[in-house]
A and B are shown apart, each in its own frame.
Chain A
Amino acid sequence: MAPKPITSPVPDAWYPTLSVFMLAIGLFVTASFFIYEATSSRQNRSLGKELITGAVASVFLGFGSLFLLLASGVYV
């Protein structure tokens, strides 16, 4: 069996695009999270909805910032 070259899971050339889009989506969801926090009243705020919005936003922001690091040459 010949040695097989290992490549990155995502081609390097995609990093800038991926980072822009994922950060944009992440920031959009973050904005909706904070709008929800600020406008809904204490009684009818639902914890589940807050947690889900926060989780979705942090997944997008997390991957977005990882790709931003990679695109700018900080190979983690």
Chain B
Amino acid sequence: MGVRRKMALRFDLIIFTILLFASPVLSDLILSKVDRRIDLTSQIVRITSTLKVENEGSEPVSEVLLAFPDLQVKDLALLKASPHEGKGKVKSLSASLPVENVKPNGMPAALTFYAVKLPKALGKGDSYTFDVLAVFAHALRPFPEKITQADIQLVVFQESAFYLTPYVVKVQSLSVKLPESRIESYTKLENTKIHGSEIKYGPYENLPSFSYSPIVVHFESNQPFAVGQEVVREIEISHWGNVQVTEHYKLVHGGAQNKGEFSRLDYQARPTIRGASAFKYLIAKMPPRVHSVYYRDEIGNISTSNLWGDSKKTELLIEPRYPLFGGWRTAFTIGYGLPLKDFLFELEGNRFLNITFGSPMNELVIDNLIVKVVLPEGSGDISVSAPFPVNQWEETKLSHLDLTGRPVVVLQKTNVVPEHNQFFQVYYKFSKLSMLREPFMLIFGFFSLFVAGIVYMHVDMSISKSSAAYLARLQWDEVQAAIQQVENVINRCLTTHDKLEASLRDLSRTGDVQACKAARKAADGLLKELSKELKLVLSFLQSSSAASQILPKVEELVAKEKDLQEKVMAKHSTVVDCYEKKTGIRDSENRVAAQQQKITALRQEVENLLELIDEI
């Protein structure tokens, strides 16, 4: 057990320096009761201390110092103090006490101090109880450092049995909770008891300041030692209704290194014995109403995953492509979409995103976490409010339908534990009109296609402007235009005829001769105009040489139309006459029927001709 001896030596040195520089108590505070619970059930070490401070001096005191050896401080991921609310009560996150790093004078150099600000100063004889939660990542050291596939994983944890503090401690106790009852060894002091997987030290009474007594616990831990060497979370906001989260993981098994060969057969046959130290899967606890979840790596989709959820949470179980043994690595990406309304809010003209900082993975230690918040293009006035200090800088990212790039807020933090999974806020200003950027870009794109089409149709791109073929085409274009005009005029004539027919029907229904006559008058005027127009076009067609082929048809059409027009007029006059004189309705009906027959035939012919010309 050379390692333990070495550790003991190191701690002796610390104590030596402590004793060398220690000055007597700096204030008149005493700790009347200290109760510490160390949770070693996972790879993350959580030390919860309940401290009862009492002021025995006359000066009011509002700060309590906490001391940690420098060796521990480098693993310290989180330190939080909160008022003690007794057991069984729900702790409110907001009611934490401010903690800050301080360097008081005359204190041992090998210690780092933190000051907890009490909510109100303690007068003489007053006491106050509060909890301190200290979370350490990488505080468990595997020993032995290399094991084979069949070995179990043993880890070592070191602490002091006495609470290291600059104050006098009246009563204190310590309990260490282990994952399994199999303990290789532990330091035995007086008053040491063991209950299953829990070791209890104390109570110890009336200890001077800076008391220190190292303990070392060596025990079995087959918990997943999942360490994210680098995790990049990208949170992309779309105001069209989605918050897209993409997380890139670079995982390593941070426990005892695997040595020797790996036998998949042994592992598959008896995974609990031949691979006790490996971990096979990870569970991510994601928010409710998550959608479009994927899990992939560079090769492609990884199908070994499972998703289930209810109204409060969603759980994703992912299995890497292979079980992870000590020192093995894997890299993968998970992504999911979240509904916008759960995470994005508006307050006094500002918009803000309210989302958790850490990774959703259970019991994952992250050495370097980078959170990127990608805001929509056009947002400004960006500010971040995080519950703990983070490094922060800004970038831009070009994505779908972007012109200038989206502003990205990057937050970086080292040593992240699940306790850092707290909500943080990114505030920004965004005008609703900026949302129309994307559709307008698409509209502009399509419109430029149409404009290109129009330009192509309008621009004359022939090289030789004097060639016969070109001139012929120009002429033919003119003829075509004239024929279209003819068609147009004829069609208008036909509609006028229809109107006259309609007026006749009205007449038979209402007997209003005057209205019918007025309609006739209007039609006459219109037809006269049209015939003038027709004459013009016709004379052009007659003069044009290119139209010689089609001209007979057009002339026939015009003649037929004229004929039709006369017949319609005649019919109209007959019917109106009958109504005016109120004579021989039966007689007139016969005449009208004959006229009607001719009109129908002519109309059919005109329409046929129109179609024929249209086809040419």
Residue of B nearest to A66 (CB): B439
Let me know if A4 and B345 touch, CB within 8 A: yes
Interface string of B429-443 (1 = CB under 8 A from A): 000000100111011
Report B348-371 residues with CB < 8 Å from chain A CB. 348, 351-352, 354
Q: Is the interface of B mostly helix, strand, loop or mixed?
A: helix
Let me know if A74 and B292 touch, CB within 8 A: no
Let me know if B438 and A66 touch, CB within 8 A: yes
Q: Is B340 an interface residue (CB 8 A)?
A: yes
Let me know if A37 and B443 touch, CB within 8 A: no
Let me know if A44 and B485 touch, CB within 8 A: yes
Q: For the complex, give the distance between the alpha carbons of A61 and B244 in Å.
A: 26
Q: For the complex, give the distance between the alpha carbons of A54 and B458 in Å.
A: 15
Stretch at the interface among B128-136, B234-242, B577-585: B234-242
Let me know if A9 and B435 touch, CB within 8 A: yes
Q: For the complex, give the distance between the alpha carbons of A5 and B35 in Å.
A: 43
Q: Is A25 an interface residue (CB 8 A)?
A: no
Cβ contact of B450, chosen from A1, A6, A33, cutoff 8 A? A33
Q: For the complex, give the distance between the alpha carbons of A40 and B443 in Å.
A: 26
The 6 closest A-B pairs by CB, nearest first: A54-B450, A8-B241, A62-B443, A43-B481, A75-B238, A58-B446
Question: In the assembled complex, how far is the CB of residue A70 from the closest CB belonging to chain B, in whole angstroms?
Answer: 5
Cβ contact of A63, chosen from B435, B443, B451, cutoff 8 A? B443
Let me know if B453 and A34 touch, CB within 8 A: yes
Let me know if B453 and A5 touch, CB within 8 A: no
Q: Which residues of the other chain, A, contact B240 by a CB distance below 8 angstroms?
A: 8-10, 70, 75-76
Give how many A-B residue pairs fall within 8 Å (CB-CB): 124
Interface string of A37-57 (1 = CB under 8 A from B): 100111111010011011101
Q: For the complex, give the distance between the alpha carbons of A54 and B453 in Å.
A: 9
Q: Is A31 an interface residue (CB 8 A)?
A: no
Provide a sorted-by-A list of 25 A–B residue pairs whose CB atoms are within 8 angstroms: A3-B345, A3-B347, A3-B354, A6-B351, A7-B341, A9-B239, A9-B240, A12-B242, A33-B450, A40-B484, A43-B477, A43-B480, A43-B481, A45-B458, A50-B450, A50-B457, A54-B450, A58-B443, A58-B450, A61-B442, A61-B446, A62-B445, A65-B442, A66-B442, A75-B242
Let me know if B345 and A7 touch, CB within 8 A: no
Q: Which residues of the other chain, A, contact B501 by a CB distance below 8 angstroms?
A: none
Q: List 12 additional contacts besides A8-B239, A43-B481, A44-B481; criterion CB under 8 Å.
A: A6-B341, A6-B351, A10-B240, A42-B477, A51-B451, A58-B443, A62-B439, A62-B444, A65-B442, A75-B241, A76-B238, A76-B240
The residues of B with any CB-CB pair to A shorter than 8 Å are 236, 238-242, 244, 292, 337, 339-342, 344-348, 351-352, 354, 399-401, 435, 438-440, 442-447, 449-451, 453-454, 457-458, 477-478, 480-481, 484-485
Cβ contact of B442, chosen from A7, A62, A74, cutoff 8 A? A62
Residue of B nearest to A57 (CB): B450
Let me know if A7 and B454 touch, CB within 8 A: no
Residue of B nearest to A3 (CB): B345
Question: In the assembled complex, how far is the CB of residue B229 from the closest CB belonging to chain A, in whole angstroms?
Answer: 30
Residue of B nearest to A7 (CB): B341
Let me know if A37 and B352 touch, CB within 8 A: no
Q: For the complex, give the distance between the alpha carbons of A66 and B441 in Å.
A: 10
Let me know if A8 and B454 touch, CB within 8 A: no
Residue of B nearest to A26 (CB): B446
Say yes or no: A6-B346 contact (C-beta < 8 A), given A33-B450, A69-B400: yes
Q: Is A59 an interface residue (CB 8 A)?
A: yes
Say yes or no: A44-B292 contact (C-beta < 8 A), given A6-B346, A7-B340, A58-B447: no
Q: For the complex, give the distance between the alpha carbons of A13 and B342 in Å.
A: 16
Q: Which residues of the other chain, A, contact B244 by a CB distance below 8 angstroms?
A: 75
Q: For the complex, give the distance between the alpha carbons of A7 and B432 in Å.
A: 12
Question: In the assembled complex, how far is the CB of residue A13 from the closest CB belonging to chain B, in whole angstroms?
Answer: 10
Residue of A nearest to B343 (CB): A5
Interface residues on A, range: 35 or more
Q: Which residues of the other chain, B, contact A63 by a CB distance below 8 angstroms?
A: 439, 442-443
Q: For the complex, give the distance between the alpha carbons of A43 and B337 in Å.
A: 55
Q: For the complex, give the distance between the alpha carbons of A26 and B236 in Å.
A: 30
Q: Which residues of the other chain, A, contact B477 by a CB distance below 8 angstroms?
A: 41-43
Let me know if A50 and B348 touch, CB within 8 A: no
Q: Which residues of the other chain, B, contact A41 by a CB distance below 8 angstroms?
A: 477, 480-481, 484
Residue of B nearest to A53 (CB): B450
Say yes or no: A1-B292 contact (C-beta < 8 A), given A65-B442, A66-B442: no
Let me know if B447 and A55 touch, CB within 8 A: yes
Let me know if B481 and A42 touch, CB within 8 A: yes
Chain A CB within 10 A, most for which of B347, B439, B478: B439
Q: Which residues of the other chain, A, contact B484 by a CB distance below 8 angstroms?
A: 40-41, 44
Q: For the complex, give the distance between the alpha carbons of A6 and B379 in Å.
A: 15
Q: For the complex, give the distance between the alpha carbons of A48 and B174 in Å.
A: 87
Let me know if B454 and A4 touch, CB within 8 A: no
Report A15-43 residues with CB < 8 Å from chain B CB. 26, 30, 33-34, 37, 40-43
Q: For the complex, give the distance between the alpha carbons of A51 and B446 in Å.
A: 12
Q: Which residues of the other chain, B, contact A6 by a CB distance below 8 angstroms?
A: 239, 340-341, 344-346, 351
Cβ contact of B400, chosen from A1, A42, A55, A74, cutoff 8 A? A74
Cβ contact of A4, chosen from B239, B346, B443, B458, cutoff 8 A? B346
Residue of A nearest to B477 (CB): A42
Q: Which residues of the other chain, A, contact B401 by a CB distance below 8 angstroms?
A: 76
Question: In the assembled complex, how far is the CB of residue B385 from the closest CB belonging to chain A, in whole angstroms?
Answer: 13
Residue of B nearest to A12 (CB): B241
Let me know if B346 and A43 touch, CB within 8 A: no
Chain B CB within 10 A, most for which of A30, A44, A51, A62: A62
Residue of B nearest to A30 (CB): B450
Let me know if B400 and A5 touch, CB within 8 A: no
Q: Which residues of the other chain, B, contact A47 by a CB distance below 8 angstroms?
A: 454, 458
Q: Which residues of the other chain, A, contact B339 by a CB distance below 8 angstroms?
A: 12
Q: For the complex, give the distance between the alpha carbons of A50 and B452 in Å.
A: 12
Chain B CB within 10 A, most for which of A3, A7, A9, A50: A3
Q: For the complex, give the distance between the alpha carbons of A73 and B293 in Å.
A: 12
Question: In the assembled complex, how far is the CB of residue A56 from the closest CB belonging to chain B, in whole angstroms?
Answer: 10
Q: Which residues of the other chain, B, contact A10 by a CB distance below 8 angstroms?
A: 240
Question: In the assembled complex, how far is the CB of residue B438 from the closest CB belonging to chain A, in whole angstroms?
Answer: 5
Residue of B nearest to A50 (CB): B454
Q: For the complex, give the distance between the alpha carbons of A6 and B27 in Å.
A: 52
Q: Which residues of the other chain, B, contact A76 by a CB distance below 8 angstroms?
A: 238, 240, 399-401, 438
Q: Which residues of the other chain, B, contact A8 by a CB distance below 8 angstroms?
A: 239-241, 340
